[in-house]
Structure formats: C-alpha cells, structure tokens
Amino acid sequence: MLEIQKFTKIIAANWKMNGSINFINNFLNDLDDLTFENINDQSICIIICPPFTYSYLIANKLKNCYLGGQNCSLFLEGAYTGDVSASMLYDIGCQFCIVGHSERRTIFNETNNEVSIKATNSLKKNIHPIICVGETLQQKNDNRTKEVLSKQIRESMNDDSNNDNTIIAYEPIWAIGSGLTPSLDEIEDIHNFIKNEIQGYENYKILYGGSVKSANSKGILNLDSVDGLLIGGASLNVDEFNKILSF
Ligand code: 13P
C-alpha cells in the first residue's frame, strides 16, 4: 500500500455515473503534461475514480495518476449480483476507493455501519478507503455540523484505519453540485476540528469536496488543514481539471 502521509496534496476526481469511451479518450489526451510533471515529484497524488465499467480501460491508459473506485461491495465475494468487490478493484489496479459518498448514503440508504464494513473490505484488499462525511443544510443551520461529523466518523471508520492508510473527505451535502461552498474559515474550522478534536482521528488526511472549481480551488487548497480535494462536476471538464491541477 501507499504511505498516505507522504503526499502533500491529494486531488481526486469522482466522475460519478458519467462518461463514455469517447469521453475518456478525449479526457486522457487532453490531460495536461504539466500534470504529470507535478505528479512525478511523488508528493502530489492524483486519483481518477471512473464508473466501474471504464475502470479497466483507464487502468491501462493512466500515466502517473492513481485509479480509484467509487464504491465497493459489502461482501468479499460470492452470489451478490451486480456487486463489485474490493479485491476486483485491486485486481485491475485500483489503489483507492470512495466509500460512504453522500449519494450512496442518501439514495442507496447506506448506513455508517455499512460504510465501515466497506472500508474494512478495502483495507483487507490493499485499497485505501476515502471515507466521505458531511452534514445536511438543516444540520448546519441547527449548528449540529460537528456533532454529526463526529458521529459519522466514529461509526464509519474501523479499527484497522489509521492516518497512513485511510483518507477522510469532508463533503457538506448542501455544497455538492449546488455551486455553494462553505467559507474558507468554515472549511478550516471543520478540518481542524476533525484533525484535532475527534479523539483517535488525529492528523488524518482530509479532502474537501463540494462545488470545487478552478475559481475556488486554489483558495481551498492553500488552507493548511486541507490536504486535497474531491471533485465531482469540474473533474469532468478536462480544461477545468487541468487548471485545478496547476495549483
Ligand atoms: P461537485 O464537485 O459536483 O459538487 O461534487 C462533489 C462530490 O460529490 C465529489 O465526490
């Protein structure tokens, strides 16, 4: 496995259920060579998380970027029609897997306990889980953000996780795909809270996600407590993505 702590910044592209073979060919052609120079210094980690159907295609074409899954099965193998296991992801070259994305939690009713099992499965199969947490707008307005995040983190992580094998992504649900983001001070405050105040989760690498684009990415990445970004929509536009990577 990789030593997560050695990375100074981690930029992950979550393509969600978007893309096609044509899109991927164009995207990879247009991904800036500068990106690769950046990555060659070994301290920048760029992760592309395509839909499963395209993972293998990308695995064979990616240079200097890491490959990630968007989800993995609750089970290790067997009669689970439609599922993809952590070991299958590893087999095709994935080193990361997003688990507990808010779209999985809300649309597919994934619980913290299930997220924790998926994180365990990932670690068992040498994959670094990227565990997503985030509050709803209602919870934010009720001043419950820290309480909610603390519970999600404690219940979604497992005993095998440590700050060198697991990444946390803070994605406020109200910021995803909305064009809204927390202020820089709010992001700093929440990341510092997770790093310093939730016992047992000190110094985890924490990515920020939610309406990141080239116009706001530098400001967010420059925050000391932000170790990287988890990008949805803007990662599908290669020009935007190149700009974000040229920080
Ligand atoms: P957007 O960047 O489209 O807001 O999505 C964020 C996200 O959900 C990444 O996992």
Closest CA to 64 of 39, 99, 97: 39
Active site residues: 101, 171
Query: What is the pLDDT at residue 41?
Result: 62
| CA 209 to ligand 1: nearest atom | 6
Query: What is the pLDDT at residue 71?
Result: 98
Query: What is the pLDDT at residue 22?
Result: 97
Query: What is the pLDDT at residue 33?
Result: 65
How many angstroms is it from 79 CA to the middle of ligand 1?
32
| Cβ–Cβ < 8 Å for 136, 127 | no
**212, 220, 236: residue to mutate for ligand 1 pocket, most atoms within 8 A of CB:** 212
In this structure, the residues whose C-beta lies within 6 A of any atom of ligand 1 are 14, 101, 171, 176-177, 209-212, 230-234
| Cβ–Cβ < 8 Å for 14, 70 | yes
Measured CA to CA, the distance from residue 230 to residue 98 in angstroms comes to 10
| CA 98 to ligand 1: nearest atom | 10
| CA 178 to ligand 1: nearest atom | 4
Query: What is the pLDDT at residue 168?
Result: 98
Q: Classify domain 4-245 at the CATH class level.
A: alpha beta
Q: What is the largest CA-CA distance in the chain?
A: 47
How many angstroms is it from 175 CA to the middle of ligand 1?
8
Residue whose CA is closest, atom 5 of ligand 1?
232
Residue whose CA is closest, atom 7 of ligand 1?
232
Query: What is the pLDDT at residue 241?
Result: 96
Alpha-carbon separation of residue 188 from 42, 155, 167, 182, 191 (angstroms): 25, 23, 17, 10, 5
What is the pLDDT tens value at each position of the chain, 247 positions in all?
999 999 999 999 999 999 999 999 999 998 876 555 555 567 899 999 999 999 999 998 888 899 999 999 999 999 999 999 999 999 999 999 999 999 999 999 999 999 999 999 999 999 999 999 999 999 999 999 999 999 999 999 988 999 999 999 999 999 999 999 999 999 999 999 999 988 888 899 999 999 999 999 999 999 999 999 999 999 999 999 999 998 8
pTM for this prediction: 0.96
How many angstroms is it from 210 CA to the middle of ligand 1?
5
| CA 177 to ligand 1: nearest atom | 4
Residue whose CA is closest, atom 2 of ligand 1?
232
Backbone angles phi, psi at 169, to 5 degrees: -115, 120
